[in-house]
Amino acid sequence: MPESAARELKRPPKVSGEKPGIGHMEEFDVNFARFLMRCNAECGELAEYNMAGQQTVLMSGPRAQEAFLKTLDKQLSRAAAYQATVPVFGKGVIFDAPPDRMKTQLKIQVDALRYQNMKHYATIIAQEVQDWVADWGDEGELDFLDEFIRLTLHTACHCLLGSDFRHRMTEEFKALYHDLEKGLQAIAFVDPYLQQPLFEARDNARMRLQELISAIIAERRANSDVEYGDALETFMSGTYKDGSLLSDNEITGLVIATMFAGHHTSSGTAAWTAVELARNPEHAAVVVEELDALFADGLALTFEALREIPRLEAFIEEVLRLHPPLVLLMRRVIEDIDYEGTLIEAGKTVAISTYGSHRNAEHFPDPERFDPDRPRANTPELMWAYIPFGGGPHKCAGNAFALMQLKSIFAALLTQYEFELVDPPESYQDDFSAMVLKPSSPCRLRYKKRH
């Protein structure tokens, strides 16, 4: 943009409460979702805040969010905004790969979640649920956040790394994976290479996971005539334009990235779905009635059977509205942007808040009320207001897998069990201690066998 034109443009309004040296970091750390809602309420469509020196512009409302997700794509960089993921996924993987290689890696990742594999995955997830509930008995009480973390780790591992790895899964693998997850705290998005025990554990976990996954890759290469039908097979057979295969490091990185898509977000959403079923028995009854009718004749829980379950789908979509797994989506500005007469300069970060968008009363009246019957994405305006998986050309590649996984889990669960809250309804709150939303702990529910 010419300098003279840039001088004539407005600048985004700045959010109050900035502190020397740290900007808004302190308030952001306390409750970043509520902080972002304050930014929008105070400044409107564009609001500039300071993350310890990194100037960030929050874009709010359907028009600004559509621009962020779709029309500004050539001026924004996901890779620069998500450098915190580089030590987690690995050097040379996705956001650390040159653009052409990143594009190929993401295409291979999408291929791993294609229809043919998804058909196979639904049956795997249904069996994992049956194994999970096998020792529940007629009734009991569990912390369902812990339970769904465990279940979705098992389902994601089984679908992505295959039964050969799933049935050898050790407590070490689970611990390593959780060390990687903990490495994505808010401070990692400011500097992911600070000298911190958290980041040291993350780096050690990444090295050890590559050793474990490389051992499976070596086994499979020695048995090249076997077909596995899972994501790891897709990653191992994927090629770049020059015909070269992915390295063990790149395959490990794609496994980790896809696991995050298939587990990291789904565990929190599954736990919130169970809570909202228990907290909204009148809506839960409609879902159960639908499932009973669908599976009354002993229909197997297959991908085809899960294609059309509108009441359960609407229930999960409303869970995703109130409790979107990723509260904040970010991009780095790589060339100056003129957004409707306001200059957003290169070098700044731009962000949108799914949490804030989903609580905009103009688009979602009485936004804190749980209502599966409300319109969410069936008009052009709501399409860019309801954004649990983002949108545009970079919509989350794992969204179809995530929804299929959630439908599989609850179709299997709700035909066998009903759920009740253990604690007061208002005590089940969103936990903002990490970048991925989940219920606060403990998340206790009582289950009872249906007869």
For the stretch 62-100, pLDDT in tens is 999 999 999 777 899 988 989 999 999 999 999 999 989
For the stretch 134-182, pLDDT in tens is 999 999 999 999 999 889 988 888 888 788 788 777 788 889 988 998 8
Going from the C-alpha of 320 to that of each of 325, 372, 435, the distances in angstroms are 7, 11, 15
Going from the C-alpha of 389 to that of each of 20, 169, 274, 352, 386, the distances in angstroms are 35, 29, 20, 12, 9
Q: What CATH code is assigned to 3-449? A: 1.10.630.10
Q: Does the structure show a pLDDT above 80 at 435?
A: no
For the stretch 234-266, pLDDT in tens is 999 999 999 999 999 999 999 998 887 767 678
Residue type, 319: V
| 364, 374 contact by CB (below 8 A) | yes
The token duo for 115 is 């229809």
**CB count, 10 Å around CB of 2?**
8
Q: What is the pLDDT averaged over residues 30-39?
A: 94
For the stretch 90-131, pLDDT in tens is 999 999 999 899 999 999 988 887 756 677 788 888 889 999
The token duo for 239 is 């090629």
pLDDT grade, residue 336 (50/70/90)? very high
| 38, 31 contact by CB (below 8 A) | no
For the chain, domain boundaries: 3-449
pLDDT grade, residue 20 (50/70/90)? very high
